[in-house]
Every structure is written in C-alpha cells, then in structure tokens.
Amino acid sequence: MKTNFSLLFYLKKPKNYVSGPVPIYIRITVNGERAETTSNRECDPNLWNSYSGRLKGTTENIRSFNAYLDGLQHQVYDAHKELTEAAIAITAEKLKNRFLGNDEKAIMLLTIFREHNNNMAALIGNGYSSGTLTCFRTTIKHTENYIYWKYKALDVDIKKIDHEFITSLEFYLRSQKKCSNNSALKYVKNFKKIIRFCLASGWLTQDPFRNYKSKVKIVDRVFLNQDEIDLIANKVFKTVRLNQVRDIFLFSCFTGLAYADVHKLKKTEVVKGLDGEMWIYTKRQKTDTPTRVPLLPSALDILNKYASHPIGEINGRALPVSSNQKMNAYLKEIACVCGIDKELTYHTARHTFATTVTLSNGVPIESVSKMLGHTNIKTTQHYAKILDMKVSNDMALLKEKYKAGAC
C-alpha cells in the first residue's frame, strides 16, 4: 500500500526559553499522522536553517554535525524500506519505533518457509522424499511470486496472513499460474503446513484456514485395458531401449509399483513368501509404508529376463530403470507405435494394476490397497469408481441368477 511519507528536523524550544542551545527533534509524518523523537543533539538557534533542517556554515564541526543528521535521515528511510518490503501497514508510530529499534521484531513468512525446506532437505531419506521436497520448493516459489504480485514486497509478516491472503493465493495460482484445481489446492495444502507450524509456535493466535473451504476434483485416471496390455506385451520393437522400457512398464502393470519403487527395487527384496511363492517385500519411497506384492508369472518372467543385466551386477538393482523423464518419453513412443490413443506415462502402469489386473478380476479392494501401499483405502476407492466392465460382469451374474429363479 502506497503511503505519503515525509521527514523533518526542527528545533523544539522548551517553555520559558530565554537563550542557549535548543534540542533538535525529528518529525515523521505518514498520511498526515505525526510521530516525533529526539535526535539527541542540540544547537544554537542562530546557526539553524529551518528550510534545510541543517546547521548553517561550512566549518569542519558544522559539516560533521550535519553528516550526523544525514545519517539519521538515512536510518529513517531504511526503516521505511524494511516495512514496505515486509508488506507491513506503515504508520508514523510504527516507522518511529522501527527507526529506534523499539518495535516488536516481525516474524517473516518466507524466512520460516525457507527454514522448513532446509530442514526437509536435511531429512531426505529419513522421513521425506526428494519428490516431496521438490513440491515444497515449487510452493515457496509460487508464494514468493504471489507476495510480490499482490504486495510488491519481498516477504510478509506472518501476522498479515488471513483468510483473504489464502483465497487470493488460490486465485493467483489459478489465474496467473494457470494451475489446475487439484494442483492449486496441493500448493495451498503445502502452504497450510507452514501456517500450522506458526500456530503451534504461538506466532499466530487465529487459524487463517478456519473458514477456508476447498474441494479436490476426482479425475479419471488413465489405465490400460487387457487388450492394450496384450498389444504392448506382444509387440516386437526394433530397438533394445523400447523393448526394455516396455518390459519395465509391464512389470509395474503386474505389481503396482510406482516408478520410484521400481527404480530402487533391490534383488534382495524379491523373496520367497510363506506360501512358497515369490514376493516383493519393499517400502514405498513416497510414504515409507511396507508393500508386499505376490509376483504374477508375467512379472517374475521379466525379473528373470534381466537377472544377469550388468546394472544389477553392479548395484544389486532388480531392473535396469532409466530416468523417469526418459521412461515417459519412450512410453509415448510406444503408445504411438502400438496405436494406443491414451496419454501414456509410467504412472499409468500403477493405475492399470489397480483396475484391469486386480479389481477387474475380483481381487478385494482391501488387498489391492495393501499391495499399492495406500495409507487410506479411500485412495484405492477412486479406482473402483471407474470399473464399468466389472459392474457389468457382476450384474450379468445377477441376471443369470434371476433367470434361473435363484432370487
């Protein structure tokens, strides 16, 4: 917010003044409101130039005296700049207190946010994943840009965070950054974590999220049907890289493992279970929750195919997995070659496992949720809502029962 700000040095003669030095005062005016304080200096009124607010003359002592007043003026202007950059509403009294160092030290939002991210970076692999850190770094970048966009400031006092700040942040993410509904709400959710920390620390007395409401939109997850799985599995590609990417992608279709979990999968995590069959015993990198998946024959065949691959011999990895970026690029090429008109990414494999491979074949949702490593079964239920074929098959069985007179 723009303020009208001025500074004046003047002589303040005491009552019943007769003669002698007079104290020099500083008058700060903001939007017509005044605040005054002493400069801790005094002078002979005959040497004072009321127009310039300085002593008259060019002697060494006078130049030194005027330089002192210049220094005070710079300090007041610096205090004004600090309040402006912190997006703190400026009053004459606040400016005077900041200049004198008497104001309550502001706790700045982005300073807290950066400290949070630095602490998170130090705990990668010990409670946090690199992907989570990347998301929080993106969130603070959006927040920095929002603060400058709205307040023309580099940071804000956390006491300025209110309901309007949050709703405006969401609006900024949607309108200026063109974020989708769910992406915008994800960044706001990350921001909320910083606010919770401020509340727990006693820096905020009221929760600015108290009356804030948002709703995540359920999106249709892309997955492959059985015909499309067979098409990719039976296709012979001309290059080794496409065949390799295809195999690793299908491995996730048959196990439900996310890219990060396949990338870190060790040979030692493929073990014989209590039933005598081969299982994967690992932990999800995203949530650090245990995941145990019995291996289907197709998945086991892929593991055996790459059992002697040089990468596995060097670092003990079960499969030669390329970077996520390369895998996604190659999968688009595979979809094109196979004539599959779907936006194919590596995560499509996880959705395919949940829908086509398991739920569609009657595997209970509780078992699917456990194999996917979901911490909440509601996450798994999103997949069940799109299985029209499963509903059709179940109803077909019911129809047969009615025809047979069993119901």
Q: Which tens digits make up the pLDDT trace of 324-353? A: 899 999 999 999 999 999 989 999 999 899
**pLDDT band per the 50, 70, 90 thresholds, residue 384:** low
In this predicted structure, what is the pLDDT of residue 177? Answer: 93
All residues at 6 or more sequence positions from 385 whose CB lies less than 8 Å from its CB, including other chains: 218
Do 58 and 117 reside in the same domain of the chain? no
In this predicted structure, what is the pLDDT of residue 382? Answer: 73
Report residue 145: phi and psi, to 5°: -65, -40
pLDDT at residue 366 greater than cutoff 90: no
Burial of 368 (0-12, 13-18, 19+ CB in 10 A): buried
Q: Residue 375 is part of a domain; what is its CATH number?
A: 1.10.443.10
Q: Which pair of tokens denotes residue 318? A: 């079960």
**pLDDT band per the 50, 70, 90 thresholds, residue 390:** low
Average pLDDT over every residue of 77-98: 85
pLDDT at residue 36 greater than cutoff 70: yes
Average pLDDT over every residue of 365-388: 76
Average pLDDT over every residue of 274-293: 84
Is 352 a domain residue?
yes
Q: Which of 14-28, 79-93, 237-251 has the lowest mean pLDDT?
A: 79-93
In this predicted structure, what is the pLDDT of residue 273? Answer: 87
Among 42, 43, 50, 44, which Cα is nearest to 8's? Answer: 50
Do 363 and 239 reside in the same domain of the chain? yes
pLDDT at residue 394 greater than cutoff 80: no
pLDDT at residue 365 greater than cutoff 90: no
Do 348 and 256 reside in the same domain of the chain? yes
What share of the chain has pLDDT > 90, as a percent? 54
Average pLDDT over every residue of 219-230: 87
Total tally of structural domains belonging to the chain: 3
Is 288 a domain residue?
yes
Is 393 a domain residue?
no
Do 63 and 133 reside in the same domain of the chain? no
Taking the model in full, what pTM does it have? 0.61
Average pLDDT over every residue of 231-243: 92
Do 237 and 351 reside in the same domain of the chain? yes
Is 377 a domain residue?
yes
Average pLDDT over every residue of 379-407: 70
Q: Which tens digits make up the pLDDT trace of 160-194? A: 899 999 999 999 999 999 999 999 999 999 999 99
More confident residue, 87 or 141: 141
pLDDT at residue 378 greater than cutoff 90: no
In this predicted structure, what is the pLDDT of residue 52? Answer: 92
Domain boundaries, position 346: 226-382
Is 220 a domain residue?
no
pLDDT at residue 368 greater than cutoff 60: yes
**pLDDT band per the 50, 70, 90 thresholds, residue 103:** low
Max CA distance (Å), the chain: 120
Do 274 and 364 reside in the same domain of the chain? yes
Do 259 and 340 reside in the same domain of the chain? yes
- Domain C-terminal end among 100, 122, 142: 100
pLDDT at residue 67 greater than cutoff 80: yes
Do 371 and 261 reside in the same domain of the chain? yes
Do 66 and 124 reside in the same domain of the chain? no
Do 67 and 119 reside in the same domain of the chain? no
Do 22 and 151 reside in the same domain of the chain? no
pLDDT at residue 386 greater than cutoff 60: no
Is 401 a domain residue?
no
Do 196 and 242 reside in the same domain of the chain? no
Instruction: Characterize 136-154 residue by residue with b for buried, 16 or more Cβ atoms within 10 angstroms of its Cβ, and e for exposed.
Output: bbebbebbbebbeebbebe
What share of the chain has pLDDT > 70, as a percent? 95
pLDDT at residue 34 greater than cutoff 90: yes
In this predicted structure, what is the pLDDT of residue 231? Answer: 94
Is 73 a domain residue?
yes
Average pLDDT over every residue of 30-36: 91
Is 205 a domain residue?
no
In this predicted structure, what is the pLDDT of residue 406? Answer: 57
In this predicted structure, what is the pLDDT of residue 310? Answer: 85
Contacts 24+ apart (CB under 8 A), 146-154: 146/172, 146/173, 147/87, 147/109, 147/110, 149/176, 151/87, 153/84, 153/85, 153/86, 153/87, 154/85, 154/86, 154/110
Instruction: Characterize 235-268 residue by residue with b for buried, 16 or more Cβ atoms within 10 angstroms of its Cβ, and e for exposed.
Output: eebeeeebebbbbbbbbbbbbbbbbbbbbebeee
pLDDT at residue 377 greater than cutoff 60: yes
